[in-house]
Structure 1
C-alpha cells in the first residue's frame, strides 16, 4: 500500500515507531510544482482506531442499560415485598372470615373479591415487567383462585343473619354521614383560604384498581364534584381508558357504590363530542373536558345531558405534560371557581392560567407563567394559586413551582410527596374536602393537603 504524505504524516500512522521503517520503504522525489513528495510503503497491519472508539461507545451504552435494569429490579423488588405483605394480611382476613362468616356483610365479601382481583392484576403486571413465567407466579395465581372460591362459598352461609347485619350497617352508615356533615360544619377551613399556601402533602391513600379492574386502563381520572349540587355531595365520578381518547364517564351515588363499581348513571359521549387527554373534572354538576374537533374546551351538563364548547384561539395542541400526550387543556377548580391551563406558541410553551366565567362559559382573565409545560408532570389550583409538579424519581413527585394570580408572585418550591407508581395522568385539588385526587397508572389515589396557617 502506498500513501502520499505532504509535509506531515497522518495521525492515524503515528503509532508506528520511526525506527521500524525500513529505508527501502521510504523514497523522495520532486513534484511538478516543486514540492517535496515522500513515498512511504507501510505494512498492511493497521491499528483499528475507529473500531476501538465504537467499542468504547457500545460499552458505555451497555453500562447505562445495565444500570437502568438494576434500578427496575430494585423497584420490582420493593413492589413485590409490598404485594407479599398485603397478600399475607388478606390471607389472615379470609381465615378469620371462614371461622365466623355470620359477622360479615355483603360489602366485606365484595371488598375481598376486589382486592383479590387487584392482586391478580399485580401478579400479571410483575410477570410482564420481568418477562418471566415461573412456578412462583403460577403458585400465586393458584392461591388467589383458591381464596376467591372460599370467599364465594362463605357468602352463601346463613343469608338471614347477613341481612340483619346489613340493616344494622345501613343504620350505622346513616349516623356516620350525619357526623361527617357536622364535622364539615365544625371545620372552618373547608372552602376557605385562611392560610398562606401548601406546606406538605400526606402519604398516598391507594383506594383500589380502576372500575374496569384492568391494569391496561392507564388513562383516566376520578374524584368528587368540586362544587356539588344539593343532594350530590357524596357523588363520585370516574372515566378510564386504554388510550388518551375520552368517550364515557361513570357516576356513583356514594363511596360504597364507587368501591363496589355500582354506577347509577354512565354517559357515553356521542359522535362529534369525543375528547382527548385526562385532565377533566366535575364542577357544578357538569363535566369539563378537552374536545377533539374543533379543538376546544367542552362542557357536559350531567342533569340535562346538554353539550357546549368554546374555542380558545391561542391555546396550542403542541404542548403536553411529560407523562402523556394530548393533555393540552388542564381543567382545575378551587375555592375561587373554575380554571383552565394551557400553553401557547406566543409564550413558547409556557403555561398560561385562564379563569373561566361559568355562566357564559368564556375566558374571564389570563395570567402567563414562567414554567414550561413539557417539563411539568401536572398542575392544579388552590385558592387562586397554581402549583406545578415534576418527577424526582420513580417513587417521588415534587411541587416545584407556584404562581399567585392575585399578586403575580412566582415561587420555586420543593414539596415532595410519594407516588404509588411512577406514571400518573390526572391530578386535581378538590376544595370541598381539601384533597388531591390522582389517577396513578390505573389506580385511584388520594392525598390530604397541609396548609400553613
Structure 2
C-alpha cells in the first residue's frame, strides 16, 4: 500500500475513536407505582401471630369441659336431695346426707365460679378479636392494591390447583377400593369415624405427669357405673404404684378424687409396679405390663391380689419394642392393653414376628391365661398407638403435631386387614401416649402430654 493511502486511514481511525469517547447516553427512570409498605406488612404479621396465640382450641374445650362437669353434677345433686328427703328423721342419717349435699354444692359453686370467669374472659377475647380481624381485613385489602401484576392472585389460584391435584393423587381408585370395611362382631354396626374432642382437661395435676392412661371400667361393679380411673407414671415417666379413682367424669374434670388412690405396691419401682402407660381397668381389675417382665399383671382392686400372665417366648419388653414415629419412640410401650365389648386384649411384638404386631385375647379366670393369638402384617415401630373395638384392632400413626391417623385395622373374625382406613384424630397435644376404647359409651379416651382427652366413636 502506498504512503498517501495510509495517512487518510490513520486520520479516519483517530476521529472515530474521539467521537466514541464523547458520546454519552443517559435516561431518567420514573416509577409510577407507590412504594410497598413493608413496615405495615410486618405489623400485620405480628398481629396475626398474637391472634393465633390468643385463640386456641383449648379455650373452647375448657368451657365445654366445665359445662359437661356441671351437667353431670346437677342430676347427682338432685338425686342426693331426694335421698335426704327420704332419710330425714332428724337423726344421724340426715346429718350425713346433708354433709354430702353441702360438699356437692361447694363443688358446683367452684364449677360455676370457674365457668363465669371463663365466660367473661371469652367475651372480652371475642370482642377484641373481632375488632382485630376487621382491622386486619382492611389493611390486607389496602395492600392488595399494590399487587398490580396480579402475582398474589396467581399464587392463590396455583395453591387451589395444587390442593385439588394432591387430593386427586391420594384418593384411592374406586375400582380397587373395597365397598365396606370388615364388620367384625360389632353390635353397633360398621366403624365410621371419630369425632371430638368431647372432653379436654388437665385434671387435678395440670402438667405434672406426661405419661399415663385413663378411662372407664367396661364391666363395673354395681353402683360404680359412672366411675372413672386414672393411672399416671409418677416415677421417671416409666413407673407407677397406684390407680386413682373418681366417682364421675365431672369429678375427674374438677379434680375431686373419691375414694382416692388404691395402692398396688408401696414404692417405685418394685416387683409389681406398673411399667409403661398402656393400662386398662376391666371387671374391677387393673391390667398392665409387669415391672421388668414380658408379662401381663392383673391387680384386683377389691382383694388387692396380683396375678400375672407370661407372654410367649421372644416377646420384646423393657423398651425394646415400642410404639414410634419418625421423630422418636414412646418409652416402655412394648405391651399395649386394650378393652372392648368382649374383654381384655394385649398387643405386643416378638422376635419371631420380626417386629410386627401380635394380638392375643386375655382370658379371665384363675389362673389368668392367654387365649387365641393373631399375627398381623403391620410393623409395630411404625405405629403410635392401638385400640380394640368390637373385636377389631385399630392402629394409629403420627401425621403431624395436630393430627393422628387411624390407618390400619385387623378383624379377628374374618382375619382381614386394611392399611387405608383413613380416619383422622384432631389432637390437643402433639403426643398421644395411650388410647383406650370404652364399650360402655363408645368413647375413645386419650392421654396426651398430661392432658385427658376423649373422642366419640361413630358406628353405622
TM-score (norm 2): 0.59
1:334 aligns with 2:340: yes
Count of matched residue pairs: 295
Asked if 1:82 is matched to 2:56, the reply is yes
Residue 239 of structure 2 corresponds to residue 245 of structure 1: yes
Aligned to 1:311: 310
CA, structure 1 residues 446+280, in 2 after alignment: closer, same or farther (shift >3 Å)?
Answer: same
The RMSD of aligned alpha carbons is 3.1
Please show how residues 263-278 of structure 1 align to structure 2 within 5 Å: 263-270=258-265, 271-278=270-277
How far apart, CA to CA, are the structure 1 residues paired with 2:357 and 2:455?
Answer: 24
Aligned residue in 2 for 1:345: 351
Larger Rg: 2
Gaps of 5+ in 2: 1-47, 68-103, 119-184
Contact 2:62 2:200 in 1 (8 A): no
Q: Which residue of 2 aligns with 1:321?
A: 323
- Show CA shifts across 1:319-344 (max 9, x none): 11125111111111111221111011
Question: Which residue number corresponds to residue 288 of structure 2?
Answer: 289
Cα deviation, residue 440, structure 1: 1.3
The one-character-per-residue Cα deviations of 1:141-197 (angstroms, maximum 9, x if unpaired) are xxxxxxxxxxxxxxxxxxxxxxxxxxxxxxxxxxxxxxxxxxxxxxxxxxx823553
Q: 2:405 and 2:233 mapped to 1: Cα distance?
A: 26
Instruction: Provide the rounded CA distance (Å) in 2 between the counterparts of 1:220 and 1:304.
Output: 24
Q: How does 1:44-443 map to 2 (within 5 A)?
A: 78=52, 80-82=54-56, 105-111=105-111, 193-213=186-206, 215-242=207-234, 243-258=237-252, 259-270=254-265, 271-314=270-313, 315-317=315-317, 318-322=320-324, 323-359=329-365, 360-412=367-419, 413-443=421-451
Q: CA deviation at 1:283?
A: 0.3
Distance of 1:367 and 1:376 partners within structure 2: 17
Distance 1:85 1:311, change over 3 A: closer
Give the match's secondary structure for 1:110: helix
Who is 2:182 aligned against? none
Instruction: Determine the C-alpha separation between the residues in 1 that align with 2:58 and 2:323.
Output: 34
The 3 A distance-change label for structure 1 pair 75 and 427 is farther
- Asked which structure has the greater RCO (Cα within 8 Å, sep 6+), the reply is 2
Closer, same or farther: CA 109–369 of 1 in aligned 2, 3 Å? same
Q: CA deviation at 1:88?
A: 12
Kindly state the Cα deviation for residue 309 of structure 1 after the two structures are TM-superposed.
1.0
Q: Provide, for residues 273-327 of structure 1, a one-character-per-residue CA deviation record: whole Å limited to 9, x for no partner.
A: 1121111010001000111133311011011111111221332122111251111
Shift in Å, 1:221: 1.0
Deviations 1:384-440 (A, max 9, x none): 110001111111111100001111101121011201111111101111111100011
Partner SS for 1:279 = coil
TM-score, scaled relative to structure 1:
0.60
The CA deviation string for residues 24-51 of structure 1, in whole angstroms up to 9 with x for no partner, is: xxxxxxxxxxxxxxxxxxxxxxxxxxxx
Extract unaligned runs of 5+ from structure 1: 1-73, 94-103, 119-191
Q: Quick check: 290-299 or 109-118, which moved more? A: 109-118
Q: Distance in 1 between matches of 2:287 and 2:213?
A: 12
- Would you say the 8 A contact 1:115–1:208 is kept in 2? no
User: Do the aligned residues in 2 keep the contact of 1:210 with 1:240 (CA within 8 Å)?
Assistant: no
* Secondary structure at the counterpart of residue 56 of structure 2: helix
Change (3 A) 1:115 1:395: farther
The CA distance in 1 between the partners of 2:117 and 2:209, in whole Å, is 15
Distance in 1 separating the partners of 2:280 and 2:59: 34
The 3-state SS of whatever aligns with 2:250 is helix
